[in-house]
Structure 1
Amino acid sequence: MSKTPILNTPLPFDELAEAIRGRRSVYGYISGLRLDRAAPGEAWSSLPYRPVFVGDSETGVLHGGVVTAMLDESCGMAVQLALDGTRAIATLDLRIDYQKPATPGLDIKAHSFCSRVTRSIAFVRSTAYQESEDDPVATATACFMIGANRTNMLKDRPMEDRALPTLEAPEDPTGPFAQSPFARCLGIRIGEDGTLVMPFSPRIIGNPILPAIHGGMTGAFLETTAIVGVTRELGVSPPKPIGLTINYLRSGRALDSYANVSIVKQGRRVVAFEAQAWQDDRTRPIASAFGHFMLRQTPGVDEE
């Protein structure tokens, strides 16, 4: 079977930046993420605040998965800006450290810097913030594989000019995610055996050529799974994310995804967890995550 040839002509930097602005992931495009400024190996981006991004309706604070997805895509932009537009990239791992909750109503910005590129791997760090980069909401470090597949989003697809799915959060006042619009937006539900399910949807696509699920959406799913599982198992209020490391093991295909979580260690204030996501074969996970949550403090109990 013949295959469409991949063009390997390097792009001049201005054309490369313009291609990145117009040929982002499907989720990145419909989320409103913008590339505001570009330099070789460096990207400044912004994401408008939207009610659908909220993780807790009572506080208006963004879902951690929204920040994760933004940092994942922003880091990817920085890597592409360090290359020449001829090679596909894919996230290998992403570590997020949550510094403080995002202020409701304010846009989030990110500054990502690709510090080193080898033949196969790119190393990136990023800061998400609102009013000042010196006062971060979250920081991230990531590794990307270069030449991850035979697709090239910057050349093999047109600039976005077609109607794309919108981001909406269906009302579900009695469901487990009644207070989490972003979880409802992703369609996450709890299965009969307690396993969480994220149905495939066009709005969670990262690479539309394969197609493959956006790595940030997989991260958001794993974080939601961990929050639900820890809350349920310990019988506590939903914990606060401290840090999360996601390892991407294989592409998430156009299939429903499933995930569960196990508690690795529980202290008085902090709990360590490990979560895993898979699709049609539980023995072949698409991603795993390890992280820490801060439990709600009980008066009169010292921190461990």
Structure 2
Amino acid sequence: MHDTPSAASPWFEAKLHRIRNRRSLHGTLVGLQLERAEPAQAWTILPFHPVFVGDDASGVMHGGVVTIMLDESCGMAVQLAAEATGAIATLDLRIDYLRPAAPRQAIRAHAHCYRLTRSIAFVRATAYQDSEEVPVASATAIFMLGANRSDMLHQTSKVPYDQLPPLEAPADPTGLFERNPYPRFLGIKYADDHTLMMPYQPKLIGNPILPALHGGVIGAFLETAAVVQVGREMALSAPPKPIGLTVNYLRSGRPLDTFAKVSIVKQGRRVVAFEAQAYQSSPDEPIASCYGHFMLRREASEAGAEAT
């Protein structure tokens, strides 16, 4: 295990400066900011934007936004844990949704890289709004160190930071996400065979050196696809509510269109277990897999009957 550095370490301030100015492409676009840092720890904030809303009726941030924020915040904590500046990659990210975020408010995260070996980093994090003691979500993650030859903190980006598009959620002519700005922002839609797809756009890039899709974006896509497909297969009157999910990253997401296939693993009266995979060139070569649980939203009549 590596020794934990101190804030006085000669490399720490220089690396902190680079992290503040050379984050992931997608993280820069959505406005994720590093507010405070200590060795192996990062405190971040994501100001509210209408694009982040999951459903216009509630105004609450989409769970995928939380996934992106926690994934990148954990990555910052890993970068701040050691002097080396080589590439890191998320291997595994588990998120538990503890309570809905308050509508139209910023969200914060605190990530701590609590163990570092020669090749693996272990991180835990919380997302919150008013107080870290009242978290919106919690996460644990595993990162690989030296995942490839890219170095985001020093090498020149292949996708210019100064050419990022505005934060906009285009209209959905199909009506699939008519009331859901965030899936529209990601560009999620049905392919010709009714498979959900996320067309490639430069704004989805995390590592701009390779380039590769942001791991949090892939997780957000899988969660959205699962919500849609489970709701469709079960003919639900309201979208299921995410409880928790684990994303396993199997290979880098290339700058290509990405597709999802979803299956129900177990269906109960209140909870559904699902499995989803994201792939690009072939369904037999997934770039990520996801396993999680949804809570089924009860009909108003059923909820009233139970209350009496």
TM range (shorter): over 0.9
Structure 2 distance, partners of 1:161, 1:169, is 20
The TM-score, its normalising length taken from structure 1, stands at 0.93
Shift, 1:70, TM fit? 0.3
Alpha-carbon separation, structure 2, partners of 1:168 and 1:100: 26
Secondary structure at 1:263 match in 2: strand
Unaligned runs of 5+ in 2: 1-8
* Residue matched to 2:245: 244
* CA distance in structure 2 between the aligned counterparts of 1:258 and 1:89, rounded to whole angstroms: 24
Residues in 1 aligned to 2:161 and 2:26: alpha-carbon distance in whole angstroms: 15
Are the counterparts in 2 of residues 165 and 202 from structure 1 also a CA contact under 8 Å?
A: no
Residues 161 and 66 (structure 1), Cα distance of their counterparts in 2 relative to 1, 3 Å cut: closer
Partner of 1:94: 93
**Whole-angstrom CA distance in 1 between matches of 2:86 and 2:135:** 31
| Structure 2 CA distance for aligned equivalents of residues 290 and 42 of structure 1 | 28
Match of 2:4 in 1: none
Amino acid at match of 2:68: A
Deviations 1:99-133 (CA, angstroms, capped at 9, x unpaired): 11111111000000000001110000000000000
- Contact map agreement 2:97 2:244 (CA 8 A) in 1: yes
Counterpart of 1:296 in structure 2 is 297
8 Å CA contact 2:25–2:161 kept in 1: the answer is no
- In 1: Cα distance, 2:275 partner to 2:161 partner: 40
Structure 1 residue aligned with 2:107:
108
Residue identity over aligned pairs, in percent, reads 62
Give distance in 1, aligned partners of 2:173 and 2:52: 17
Q: Structure 1's 41 and 147: CA in aligned 2 closer, same or farther, altered over 3 A?
A: same
Shift of 1:157: 2.8
SS at match of 1:57: coil
How far is the alpha carbon of 1:172 from its aligned partner? Answer: 2.4
Q: Per the alignment, in what secondary structure is the counterpart of residue 37 of structure 2?
A: strand
Q: Which runs of 5+ in 1 are unaligned?
A: 1-9
Shift in Å at residue 281 of structure 1? Answer: 1.6
Counterpart for residue 199 of structure 1: 199
Distance across 1 between alignment mates of 2:104 and 2:169: 17
User: Mean alpha-carbon deviation: is it higher for 275-284 or for 162-171?
Assistant: 162-171
Partner Cα distance (2:297, 2:235) in 1: 11
Aligned to 2:189: 189
Cross-structure match for 1:149: 148
Q: Contact 2:79–2:85 at 8 Å: present in 1 too?
A: no
Paired residue for 2:274? Answer: 273
Could you tell me how far apart the structure 2 residues matched to 1:108 and 1:65 are?
13
Question: 1:3-42 alignment to 2 at 5 Å?
Answer: 12-42=11-41
* Contact 1:65–1:223 (CA under 8 A) maintained in structure 2: yes
- The 3-state SS of whatever aligns with 2:164 is coil
**Aligned match of 2:5:** none
Residues of 1 paired with 2:207 and 2:85: CA distance? 15
Q: Per-residue deviation at 1:167?
A: 2.1
Q: How many residues align?
A: 292
Report the Cα offset of residue 163 of structure 1: 3.0
| AA in 1 matched with 2:82 | L
CA distance in 1, matches of 2:76, 2:161: 20
Structure 1 match to 2:211:
211
Deviation at 1:161, TM superposition (A): 6.2
Q: Which residue identity lines up with residue 245 of structure 1 in the other structure?
A: T
| Paired letter, 1:197 | M
TM-score (norm 2): 0.92
Residue identity in the other structure for 1:203: K
| CA distance in structure 1 between the partners assigned to 2:166 and 2:56 by the alignment | 20
Q: CA deviation at 1:241?
A: 0.4
Which residue is equivalent to 1:117?
Answer: 116
